[in-house]
Amino acid sequence: MKLADFLLTSVPFSQEELNDILSHFEKEYVKKNQVLIREGRVCNKLYFVDLGMGRSYYLKKDGKEVTQWFFGAGEFMSSADSFFKQTPSFYYLEILEDSIVYSISNENMDFLLAKYHKMEKFIRLLAIDILSNVILKLNAIQFQTARERYDYMISEFPDISHRVPLSHIASYLGMTQETLSRIRRNDS
């Protein structure tokens, strides 16, 4: 879904409001492997993935990467609490394929939030959607077997396994890549 449609789907902005809002976003072409924000830095942009995909991840003390989330086309991508609270990010944000994104700075977002009551509503709804998704994942991790988590992911994101390295998917699912490899082998 495109950014304009995404905005309109949850809040009925007028054409004029929509144009104003969109004008505060900037189109960016981002190359594969580019890091958008690093752990410990304040995330001052919110991204909408128009085409391509990205992920958030962090490093464990032993230096291993742990994928926290994947962001596909038609989704907002950011270190949400860092962006909205202007606190240091716990995560890295990285682009996984050559992508087109629309970004908005924190200053522009604050401007729009202050200007439009409807913009506050839009972001509130966005935050609640993200929250639902995180809660779903928390339940999956806490109470499903490695196999069940994998099956769920495949049913939800059938193409992801062809687009990103196994190791990213494994850490996203909270298991080692060896375990994921074995699960895959036993596929029917």
Partner DNA sequence: TTTACTTTTTGATATAGGTCAAATGGAGAT
Partner DNA sequence: ATCTCCATTTGACCTATATCAAAAAGTAAA
Measured between alpha carbons, how far is 77 from 45 in angstroms, rounded to an integer? 9
From the CB of 60, what's the least distance to a second copy, in Å? 6
Gyration radius of the chain's alpha carbons: 17
Measured between alpha carbons, how far is 133 from 151 in angstroms, rounded to an integer? 17
Q: Would you say 28 or 151 has its CB closer to DNA?
A: 151
Tell me the one-letter amino acid at 44. Answer: N
From the CB of 186, what's the least distance to a second copy, in Å? 23
Q: 95: closest CA among 83, 74, 77? A: 77
Instruction: For strands 65-71 and 54-59, give the pairing.
Output: antiparallel
> Does 166 participate in binding DNA (rule CB under 7 A)?
yes
Contacts of 60 (CB under 8 A, 6+ apart): 66
**From the list DNA, a second copy, none, partner contacted by residue 135 (C-beta under 5 to 8 A by kind):** a second copy
> Does 59 participate in binding DNA (rule CB under 7 A)?
no
How is residue 32 annotated by DSSP? T
Contact assessment for residue 77 and residue 93, using Cβ atoms and an 8 Å cutoff: yes
Scanning 91-99, 101-109, 121-129, 162-170 for contacts with DNA by CB under 7 A, the matching segment is 162-170
From the CB of 94, what's the least distance to DNA, in Å? 13
> Does 142 participate in binding a second copy (rule CB under 8 A)?
yes
Contact assessment for residue 59 and residue 39, using Cβ atoms and an 8 Å cutoff: yes
**From the list DNA, a second copy, none, partner contacted by residue 32 (C-beta under 5 to 8 A by kind):** none
> Does 14 participate in binding a second copy (rule CB under 8 A)?
no
From the CB of 29, what's the least distance to a second copy, in Å? 29
> Does 41 participate in binding DNA (rule CB under 7 A)?
no
Measured between alpha carbons, how far is 90 from 123 in angstroms, rounded to an integer? 21
Q: Which residues of the chain form contacts with DNA (CB under 7 A)?
A: 145-147, 165-167, 174-182, 184-185
Q: Give the residues lining the site for a second copy (CB under 8 A).
A: 58, 60, 66, 68, 80-81, 84-85, 90, 113, 117, 120-121, 123-125, 127-132, 134-135, 137-139, 141-143, 174
